[in-house]
């Protein structure tokens, strides 16, 4: 639920007189999905939350940015969308449970927990070392080589070749096959120790070539690499279009609009966008008519400001 743009705090639907446990007195199978800043329990349950606040609390802001610089906000609304995704997964699990037990339940999803659950091994590493992970810019400690470099024509290219096989392909692609057998780089542990040397060699090669040449070369050798895409790149990219991840949808007021496609893709029952989003109240007659309300009833509700 949203109140003034803010993700609702705990107990919001109880304050509206819609406590799930009370509703289950007449509908035991009711499943209620609840998304709030900090969840329905815990000492911070009454705090308000936005995506930006959740990112800070989840720890992702602290590790984003250049070494020695301030923390940086990630560029997408990760908490908002991830919380919705996890909440949908929770609803599906609750439906499965209801098939066995006949009982519904609450799906209690906090914004910050969606981001925290994607943090990987951070808490495990802290438990072993007692040290916080520091900001390190584009370099992720221990993942080598996985960096971005500027090409001769001013674009940025990400190259990721972290396994022994991928690194051997990379060495061959840039014309230095001997690097795969170099004592500094032959194994992952050695590459981690000498990551700066790898990045210097790879960066020097990328800087000498255009983006098109780099991409063609790495693709030919099976090396994972891609340009750092802007939205304009995404809008015109043939792969996005082929996968129907950029859609053109007619709107009521703004002509044709672009929007992301449906994820995930199902082979037998694929989703599709059939029409634009409805205007506010556009389907009132259809929805309330199905409940037995007449046009006169709807006019009365509209006059009262109820709809």
Structure tokens at 137: 């810019």
3-class SS letters over the chain: CEECCEECCCCHHHHCCCCHHHHCCCCCCCCEEEEECCCCCCCCCCCCECHHHHHHHHCCCCCCCCCCCCCCCCCCCHHHHHHHHHHHHHHHHHHHHHHHHCCCCEEEEEHHHHHHCCCCCHHHHHHHHCCCCCCCCCCCCCCCCEEEEECCCCCEEEEECCCHHHHHHHHHHCCCHHHHHCCCCCCHHHHHHCHHHHHHHHHHHHHCCCHHHHHHHHHHHCCCEEECCCHHHHHHCHHHHHCCCEEEEECCCCCEEEEECCCCCCCCCCCCCCCCCCCCCCCHHHHHHCCCCCHHHHHHHHHHCCC
33, 92 contact by CB (below 8 A)? no
Burial class (CB in 10 A: 0-12, 13-18, 19+), 165: exposed
172, 219 contact by CB (below 8 A)? no
Domains, in order of start, for the chain:
2-129 (3.40.50.10540), 146-228 (3.30.1540.10), 277-307 (no CATH)
Q: Which residues contact 62 (CB under 8 A, 6 or more apart)?
A: 56, 71, 132, 135
80 is a catalytic site residue: yes
Q: Which of 80, 233, 268, 295 is catalytic?
A: 80
Q: Which residues contact 265 (CB under 8 A, 6 or more apart)?
A: 243
| pLDDT tens-place values along the chain, 307 residues long | 444 445 667 888 898 888 999 999 999 999 999 999 999 999 999 998 999 999 999 999 999 999 999 999 999 999 999 999 999 999 999 999 999 999 999 999 999 999 999 998 889 999 999 999 999 999 988 899 999 999 999 999 999 999 999 999 999 999 999 999 999 999 999 999 999 999 999 999 999 999 999 999 999 999 999 999 999 999 999 999 999 999 999 988 889 999 999 999 999 999 989 888 888 889 999 999 998 999 999 999 889 988 8
49, 40 contact by CB (below 8 A)? no
For the chain, what is the largest distance between any 2 Cα atoms, rounded to a whole number of angstroms? 84
152, 210 contact by CB (below 8 A)? yes
Structure tokens at 72: 């940086």
Considering just the CA atoms, what is the radius of gyration of the chain in Å?
A: 26
Using one digit for the tens of pLDDT, what is the confidence trace for 91-143? 999 999 999 999 999 999 999 999 999 998 889 999 999 999 999 999 988 89
């Amino acid at each position: 639920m949203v109140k003034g743009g803010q993700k609702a705090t705990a107990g919001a639907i109880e304050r509206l007189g819609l406590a799930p446990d009370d509703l289950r007195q007449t509908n035991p199978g009711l499943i209620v999905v609840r998304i709030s800043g900090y969840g329905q329990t815990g000492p911070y349950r009454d705090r308000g939350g936005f995506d930006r606040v959740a990112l800070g609390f989840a720890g992702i802001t602290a590790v984003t940015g250049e070494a020695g610089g301030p923390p940086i906000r990630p560029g997408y609304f990760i908490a908002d969308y991830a919380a919705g995704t996890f909440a949908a997964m929770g609803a599906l699990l609750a439906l499965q449970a209801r098939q066995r037990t006949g009982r519904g339940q609450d799906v209690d999803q906090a914004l910050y927990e969606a981001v925290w659950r994607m943090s990987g091994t951070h808490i495990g590493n802290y438990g072993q070392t007692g040290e916080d992970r520091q900001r390190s810019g584009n370099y992720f400690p221990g993942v080598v080589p996985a960096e971005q470099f500027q090409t001769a024509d001013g674009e940025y290219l990400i190259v990721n070749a972290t396994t022994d096989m991928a690194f051997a392909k990379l060495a061959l692609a840039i014309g230095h096959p001997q690097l795969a057998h170099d004592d500094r780089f032959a194994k992952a542990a050695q590459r981690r120790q000498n990551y700066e040397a790898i990045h210097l060699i790879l960066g020097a090669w990328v800087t000498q070539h255009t983006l098109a040449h780099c991409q063609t070369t790495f693709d030919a050798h099976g090396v994972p690499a891609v340009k750092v895409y802007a939205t304009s790149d995404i809008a015109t990219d043939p792969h996005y279009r082929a996968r129907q991840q950029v859609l053109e949808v007619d709107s009521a007021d703004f002509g044709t609009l672009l929007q992301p496609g449906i994820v995930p893709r199902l082979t037998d029952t694929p989703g599709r966008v059939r029409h634009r989003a409805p205007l506010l109240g556009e389907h009132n007659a259809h929805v309330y008519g199905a409940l037995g309300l007449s046009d006169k009833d709807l006019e009365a509700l509209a006059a009262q400001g109820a709809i």
